[in-house]
Amino acid sequence: MTYEFESMSYADALKLADEGETWIVEDVIGSATTLIYGEAKAGKSFLVSALIQALATGTDFLGKPVPQDRAFSVAVCWTDDRGAQEYSERIRTVMPETSTPDARFYHLPIMRTPEMWQALYDCVMAEGHNFVVIDNLAQTLNGSINEDAVVRQFFDGVRLFVRAGIPVVVVAHSSDKAGPNGYKPDTPMGSAYISQAVRWRVFARRSRRGNITLKFVGNHSEPYEMTLSHGAGARFEVIDTKSPEAVKAAAEGAERVRTARRLDANDVLLQWLRTNCKGMTVRDAAAKLAADQGIKETTSKSRITRAGIRKDGDSWVRLDAA
């Protein structure tokens, strides 16, 4: 069996880097694969509808210009029931009455084989599309979204378009399950390979007030955030932008708060042990703490250890406070 590997010289690679484009919409939509993801009802498909309108009319998207050197023809590949109808209705809410976007809708089944991806690619190329939307990732997969090999097959198909110079926006979900502290993750649902396979990610989260916060992260720019007011249909207004410096400062501030809370909790535990477990062994103290808080002894012992608390004669001390 003979294998062939795509290769290019340093000069050719550098020429591509210098002449190629990184963004379709600067710092918002990449020229390769962009992943837009979030919980259900976060506004992802409305956001994509607004993007399609901007590409079709040459108007700004989220306050930033789209390329003016070409006309865009969009292939919208949908999986949900009534996907084509819903997208067309949402796009109509922002299109001028006399304009029709150059867009065509393709229903995607489960993409079981590389041949199916090749057939989709051939169809897109034959129709002259130069922008592709796939909504959504999970329903095209030939297996579990948690399996690397299954997700890899999906992105192998996506790369057919990217290598032909066609940008692809993939719509996906984040987990809607909160952790023990009530926090919901801002990572894509499923295999970690999803994040590794794309160059730019946009996480959408809707607040109780209805505003949408977009978190941007990837290879081509520093992480930053944008907050949108969601109007009628696919209408959005940028009401705030948090720079990379502000995002970093906020993260550092949040970490300081978490550290302070953790230290406060450690102090509370230390005082409890001094009051209730004088002269006890660590094992006996862990058993008493477990009974008091309704937790397992292994958990209570772990809390004592993680807090840096140890025996000091008949009493207790915290190592980082000693």
Note whether 270 and 125 are same-domain residues. no
Phi, psi of 49 (to 5 degrees): -60, -40
Question: Among 59-73, 180-194, 211-225, where is mean pLDDT lowest?
Answer: 180-194
Note whether 303 and 212 are same-domain residues. no
Note whether 137 and 269 are same-domain residues. no
The Cα-based distances of 78 to 87, 172, 240, 262 in angstroms read 9, 12, 31, 46
Structural domain that includes position 277: 250-321
Residue 224 forms part of a structural domain? yes
Note whether 259 and 297 are same-domain residues. yes
Say if residue 5's pLDDT is above 90: no
Domain boundary among 239, 273, 304: 239
Say if residue 322's pLDDT is above 60: no
- Whether the bond between 146 and the residue before it is cis, its omega within 30 degrees of 0, is no
Domain boundary among 186, 208, 239: 239
| Separation between Cα atoms, residue 10 and residue 155, nearest integer Å | 26
Say if residue 180's pLDDT is above 70: no
Range 264-291 average pLDDT? 90
| Separation between Cα atoms, residue 256 and residue 261, nearest integer Å | 9
| Separation between Cα atoms, residue 61 and residue 52, nearest integer Å | 9
Range 98-106 average pLDDT? 95
Residues making up the chain, counted from first to last: 322
| Separation between Cα atoms, residue 288 and residue 144, nearest integer Å | 44
| Separation between Cα atoms, residue 171 and residue 256, nearest integer Å | 34
Note whether 130 and 234 are same-domain residues. yes
Whole-number percent of the chain with pLDDT over 90: 68
Each residue of 38-79: pLDDT tens digit? 999 999 999 999 999 999 999 999 999 999 999 999 999 999
Number of domains into which the chain is organized: 2
Residue ranges of alpha helices (H) inside 93-181 are 114-126, 148-162
Residue ranges of alpha helices (H) inside 219-296 are 244-276, 282-293
Residue 2 forms part of a structural domain? no
Radius of gyration of the chain (CA): 26
Q: What pLDDT is stored for residue 183 in this prediction?
A: 72
Note whether 95 and 205 are same-domain residues. yes
Note whether 201 and 258 are same-domain residues. no
Each residue of 269-282: pLDDT tens digit? 888 999 999 999 99
Note whether 181 and 207 are same-domain residues. yes
Q: Which of 141, 142, 131 is nearest to 173 (CA)?
A: 141
**Higher-confidence residue: 267 or 71?**
71
Around Cβ 55, how many Cβ atoms within 10 Å? 26
